[in-house]
Amino acid sequence: MSNLPLPLIPELGARLATALDVEGKIARGLEALGPVAGRDVLLVDAAGSAVAAALDDLGSRVEHQSVAAPFRSALADGSVDAIVGLWSAFRGVDATELAEVDRILRPGGRLLAVHDYGRDDVSRLLGERPEYGAWSHRTGPFLTGGFRVRVLHCFWTFDSMEAMAGFLAEAFGEAGVAVAATLKRPRLSYNVAIYHRSRGGAVDAPGAGDAAAITARA
């Protein structure tokens, strides 16, 4: 389940869940690019997550669906205003998945796919991943496939340097110890990308965050 951006044993997952996105930036990003407040939203593979709770707080009417590849839904045509995937769903651009997305979205509906972006402290823990390379490039699958990207500058925030160092050592071993030794505050920078697309692939004018993200990759 994509409550978190990486699989962890339950005890470590619970500790990361309290540290991740305490500022609510992911939920605010979804609202800015949706909107999702007061709308019908299909949330893929994220029941019980902090984002699911935030959508409830925004008054979204949320349907939950398990992840599958390719994406398929039992919902009727034109059922929802937004589809949100967190980390495990929409891993790349697949024409059959986008056709299914367009089938269940209403006119003007939005697909919002949340993934890691990299260029941060967290990426130093996890090594090479497609999220950090091809997916975010101008010539990559998302930006040539009808999506734009908004990059959110988030953090993993801990109560103390000791709590942070202990978590990183337990969760990531030597890599965690090495990263912790470079940090001056009890938090890790964590950049999150929301790849967003309107029903039918219509291209919207980018907001300031989209333009900044595109410039940063050049």
Helices 10-19 and 161-180 meet at what angle, rounded to 10?
Answer: 100
Check whether 89 has a pLDDT greater than 90: yes
Q: What number of other Cβ atoms are within 10 A of residue 153's Cβ?
A: 13
The whole-number pLDDT of residue 18 equals: 87
Element (H, E) at 196: strand 187-198
Joined together, the tokens standing for residue 4 give 């978190």
Pick 190 or 214 by higher pLDDT.
190
The whole-number pLDDT of residue 97 equals: 95
The whole-number pLDDT of residue 212 equals: 41
Question: Where in the chain are the domains?
Answer: 23-116+126-156+189-217
Please state, for a pLDDT cut of 70, what percent of the chain lies above it. 91
Beta pairing class for 61-65 and 40-44: parallel
What values do phi and psi take at 11, rounded to 5? -65, -45
Compute the distance between CA of residue 158 and CA of residue 141 in angstroms, rounded to an integer.
34
- Averaged pLDDT for residues 160-184: 97
- 28-32, 49-53, 179-183: range with lowest mean pLDDT: 49-53
Pick 60 or 206 by higher pLDDT.
60
At 211, is the pLDDT very low, low, confident or very high (cuts 50, 70, 90)? very low
pLDDT tens per residue, range 176-204:
999 999 999 999 999 999 999 999 986 55
Supply the pTM of this predicted model: 0.90
Check whether 132 has a pLDDT greater than 90: yes
CATH 3.40.50.150 fits 23-116+126-156+189-217, yes or no: yes
CB-based contacts of 126, cutoff 8 Å, min separation 6: 6, 116
Beta pairing class for 80-86 and 40-44: parallel
- Averaged pLDDT for residues 88-100: 94
